[in-house]
Structure 1
């Protein structure tokens, strides 16, 4: 191609986010759509299928650790977990923006010297969270709007934040729902990445589904929550912009 007639579609050097998947039923889903829309490349590692978790982050501008139905400290049943926690620490040391979702938030907390425990009763459904004053100024949590409602599906929870962390949102019972460590690594106990189809699959197999709720009803609740789902996309887009350096 001559200088007078440059290639009309040159390859773009897009920022890349490394995404760790723990199980098939907890995919990137909406996260993949948002990253593409924001001009960010997704590199997916399906650790549960034996794909190796990298031990460095060369060439990567962001890290996301997804959720899953397992306990965050169950290393014996999920032998890639120590490598994930090590990668979170590498991201912290190299100042790579990180987002942990549900199980991923718990792994982030454990990796950075926080702690987790177990709720007496599981938290499932679209429920309100309460931003702190700092959360209302945080780019991710502020994107949820003034009265955020988010999709919860967990019984394990974060009981102690890592050092150099700030609480960004709590549940109505005071439990940790979102935090940031060193203004670089965000953990959210809820699921901004889900679709109605993903939640329907969870409801078919999860022992956390409330009695009397059918999988179809669980999926429909997410489908009908149009305004909350837009706010979840906004949170993910805010993270993508941080990865881009905006």
Structure 2
């Protein structure tokens, strides 16, 4: 049977985008839950992996989005049971916050467009081990992962934001960037940002043009991460199935 990844989508404007086709082509089924549409975030159970997507809200906005607490609980349970988990942008901030790190809201300049990340200590990391010394990514965020959880391994940094990617334990990752996003969806985010901050319109327009110009490389680097995450999910499913068979044989 194909492994299944639970996808938590906090915002209708921030979907799986490229990751959906990539993961399905890699033999992974997807079970999407939408808490913004009153769908309940499940507990860790039958799924072989978890992805927590981004959103326009901030990671500390529990008064307006009560279900953020449920996402954190899911992340903590996944970390405790080594269920492969990838938090993207808001999702990465929720990983950091749920596991004892610190997120600050509106802290520093926004990071929007194509950004090169420097990778460190990734040779043995299951997700980033094939990514080389640097990758080009799509960024669109205003908040900061200010401190990683205790024991977390820092994997990538940018000039403006140190904590761009990290792993907690064996199989829980948080990334500040958007490996899933296509230029079409990114353009809609930039349009929303221009509406909210018209004085910043020129910078945002230039950032989008730069992202489009570099999209072939961004897409290539991001596809590697999707493939590696699918590999981790399959490995986890196989190990869990083997343990179940072994436990049955002992009875």
TM interval, short-chain normalised: 0.7 to 0.9
Aligned to 1:24: 12
**Does the C-alpha gap of structure 1 residues 33 and 220 become closer, same or farther in structure 2, counting only changes over 3 Å?**
farther
**2:56 maps to 1:69:** yes
Corresponding residue number in structure 2 for 1:226? 216
Asked whether 1:122 is paired with 2:116, we answer: no
Give the CA deviation at 1:208. Answer: 6.7
Separation of aligned partners in 1, 2:148 and 2:207 = 34
- Structure 1 window deviating more from structure 2 (91-100 vs 113-122): it is 113-122
**1:111 and 2:98 correspond:** yes
- TM-score w.r.t. length of structure 1: 0.88
CA deviations 1:52-106 (Å, max 9, x no partner) are 111x222111011000111101001111100000000111122101000000000
Residue 69 of structure 2 is aligned to residue 48 of structure 1: no
Q: Would you say the 8 A contact 1:30–1:195 is kept in 2?
A: yes
Please give the secondary structure, in 2, of the residue aligned with 1:200. helix
Query: What's the counterpart of residue 170 of structure 2?
Result: 183
Deviations 1:101-131 (Å, cap 9, x if unpaired)? 0000000111111111143211111011111
Q: Which runs of 5+ in 1 are unaligned?
A: 1-12
* Distance in structure 2 (CA, Å) of the matches to 1:64 and 1:239: 10
Superposition CA RMSD, Å: 2.0
Contact 2:86 2:172 in 1 (8 A): yes
The answer for the alignment partner of 1:148 in structure 2 is: 135
Could you tell me whether the CA contact under 8 Å between 2:102 and 2:147 is conserved in 1? yes
Q: What's the CA shift for 1:183?
A: 2.2
* 2:178 corresponds to 1:163: no
Give the TM-score normalised by structure 2.
0.86
Structure with greater strand percent: 1
Most deviating of 204-213 and 37-46 = 204-213
What is the CA distance between 1:141 and its match in structure 2? 2.3
Which position in structure 2 is the counterpart of 1:10? none
CA–CA separation in structure 2 for the residues paired with 1:15 and 1:89: 21
1:94 maps onto 2:55 in alignment: no
Which of the numbers 39, 46, 58 marks the counterpart of 2:45? 58
Q: Which runs of 4+ in 1 moved over 4 A?
A: 213-217
* Secondary structure of 2:142 counterpart: strand
* CA-to-aligned-CA distance 1:183-231 (integer Å, 9 cap, x gap): 2100010000001111011111124794314669727733642022111
Name the one with the larger helix percent. 2
| Unmatched tracts of structure 2, length 5 or more | 237-251
Contact 2:82-2:170 within 8 A present in 1 as well: no
1:147 deviates by 3.0
